[in-house]
Amino acid sequence: MAGLFITFEGGEGAGKTTQINRLAERLTQDGHKVVTTREPGGTPESEKIRDFLVQREGGNWTPCAEVLLLFAARTMHVEKLIRPALEAGKVVISDRFTDSTRAYQGYGHGFDLKTIESLEALVLGGLVPDLTFILDIDAKTGLERSGRRLAAEALSLKQKEDRFENLDITFHERLRAGFLEIAKNAPERCLVIDAMQSVEDIAQQVAEAVRARLRQA
């Protein structure tokens, strides 16, 4: 495939959205065609599934149902948006992808990682990000940051996307350890960045890594 597929991962409030906006701006200035997207979501159908999954009153799903909904959203996202954009030579930047299922549902909630891998084989058809940034932050600071963002959003209580933020701190600690384990197992793809640094310093490290990868392509 001709394009470049970049994903951003990490716990709540790690700064993914902030960094994706910076990176997209830089790459566009450099003359690249950039598509930014997110998971769950990215297509109209997948955005509907997102509401079930992340909103406070989206539903009380069993772990298996939650995983299947995530992969239903992901197959639409991959087939309708990500793959066509990569085939058209674009840079696709996704706010979360399948590493989040491994981290949240697998390491966080204890859902069987082998089953997640089987679903990945079915849904992704070999698609793997070229580069994954794991923004690493301690759970408490991340939750404080994301709490401030949620408080600032002018949404009704029902629409608040805080179903995962409301889980206890030990869940978020397992999540962080899960992301670090994922990075350790895929060092050729994953770059762990200390998310406690300033927005500017992180943006610089991200831009350098992406430019290096684009030079290799």
Question: How far apart, in whole angstroms, are the C-alpha atoms of residue 15 and residue 125?
Answer: 29
Residues 6+ apart with CB under 8 A from 202: 15, 19, 135, 193, 195
Q: Is 101 in the site for ligand Z5A (CB under 6 A)?
A: yes
Q: What is the dihedral of CA 56, 58, 62, 68, to 10 degrees?
A: -130
Residues 6+ apart with CB under 8 A from 169: 139, 140, 143
Cβ nearer to ligand Z5A, comparing 90 with 145: 145
Choosing from 16, 77, 90, 174, the residue that interacts with ligand Z5A (CB under 6 A) is 16
Task: Select from 12-20, 80-88, 180-188, 209-217 the region that touches ligand Z5A (CB under 6 A).
Answer: 12-20
By beta carbon distance, the residue nearest ligand Z5A is 15
Q: Is 129 in the site for ligand Z5A (CB under 6 A)?
A: no
The site map against ligand Z5A for 22-51 (x = CB under 6 A) is -----------------xx-----------
CB of 23 to ligand Z5A, least distance (A): 12
Task: Select from 8-16, 28-36, 121-129, 181-189 the region that touches ligand Z5A (CB under 6 A).
Answer: 8-16
Q: Is 52 in the site for ligand Z5A (CB under 6 A)?
A: no
Cβ nearer to ligand Z5A, comparing 88 with 122: 122
Which strands sit side by side in the sheet containing 131-136, from one edge to the other? 34-38, 91-95, 4-10, 131-136, 190-194
Query: Encoding tokens for residue 36?
Result: 């930014």
Cβ nearer to ligand Z5A, comparing 198 with 216: 198
CB of 216 to ligand Z5A, least distance (A): 27
Query: Encoding tokens for residue 180?
Result: 């670090």
Query: Restricting to residues 147-206, which ones interact with ligand Z5A according to CB under 6 A?
Result: 148-149, 161, 164-165, 198-199, 202
Query: Encoding tokens for residue 115?
Result: 């089953």
Q: 102 with 178: CB under 8 angstroms?
A: yes
Choosing from 104, 107, 133, 179, the residue that interacts with ligand Z5A (CB under 6 A) is 104
Comparing CA positions, the residue from 28, 101, 35, 24 lying closest to residue 68 is 101
Question: How far apart, in whole angstroms, are the C-alpha atoms of residue 41 and residue 74?
Answer: 8
Give contact residues for ligand Z5A (rule: CB under 6 A): 10, 12-18, 39-40, 54, 70, 95-96, 100-101, 104-105, 145-146, 148-149, 161, 164-165, 198-199, 202
